[in-house]
């Protein structure tokens, strides 16, 4: 039962992020980081609980690989998010490349789940693994976007010190 709740929570979090960020929204650094941090902590605690019950080295290796790849995909997505200044505030909006990277994130997660079952390490594919990976991928993305929206005067931080409107 708890696995179903975790899967539904992870899907709801991703759905909320996708819909709100495709439309574009004002950046709220707390919102960029708090929900992903909560998902990461809950997923991490669940994973630790499973590990205490006994987890194979293969399952641990797959889980670690999944987390690292999820973070990297989140960082890559964060770099593709359109960040602009609007009404004196930072705004973000997903671009087509950001959505393509979300598709890649989902495909990688499904592939890792299939691999875990194929090698007999089903422990690496459960609900806690999904929750942890969703948390860290959103945290990686949020950290990059938050860093790109640090105010500098009226504009946004960029390499040239001018608004970061047109760059991915």
- Structural domain boundaries in the chain: 2-150
- Looking at residue 17, its pLDDT comes to 79
The 3-state secondary structure of 92-152, one letter per residue: EECCHHHHHHHHHHHHHHHHHHHHHHHCCCHHHHCHHHHHHHHHHHHHHHHHHHHHHCCEE
pTM for the whole thing? 0.81
Residues 54/123, Cβ–Cβ less than 8 Å: no
As a whole number of angstroms, the distance between CA 81 and CA 97 comes to: 8
pLDDT at 156 over 50: no
Helix (H) or strand (E) holding 91: strand 89-93
Q: For residue 164, what pLDDT band results from cuts at 50, 70 and 90?
A: very low
pLDDT at 2 over 80: no
pLDDT at 142 over 70: yes
């Amino acid at each position: 039962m708890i696995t179903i709740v975790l899967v539904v929570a992870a899907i709801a979090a991703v759905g909320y992020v996708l819909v709100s960020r495709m439309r574009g929204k004002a950046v709220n650094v707390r919102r960029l980081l708090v929900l992903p941090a909560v998902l990461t902590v809950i997923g991490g605690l669940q994973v630790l609980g499973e590990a205490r019950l006994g987890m194979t080295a293969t399952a641990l290796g797959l889980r670690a690989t999944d987390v690292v790849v999820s973070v990297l995909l989140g960082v890559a997505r964060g770099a593709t998010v359109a960040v602009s200044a609007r009404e004196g505030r930072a705004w973000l909006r997903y671009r087509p490349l950001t959505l393509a990277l979300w598709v890649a994130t989902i495909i990688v997660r499904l592939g890792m789940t299939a691999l875990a079952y194929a090698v007999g390490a089903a422990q690496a594919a459960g609900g806690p693994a999904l929750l942890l990976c969703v948390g860290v991928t959103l945290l990686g993305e949020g950290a990059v976007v938050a860093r790109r929206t640090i105010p500098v005067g009226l504009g946004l931080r960029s390499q040239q010190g001018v608004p970061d409107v047109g760059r991915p």
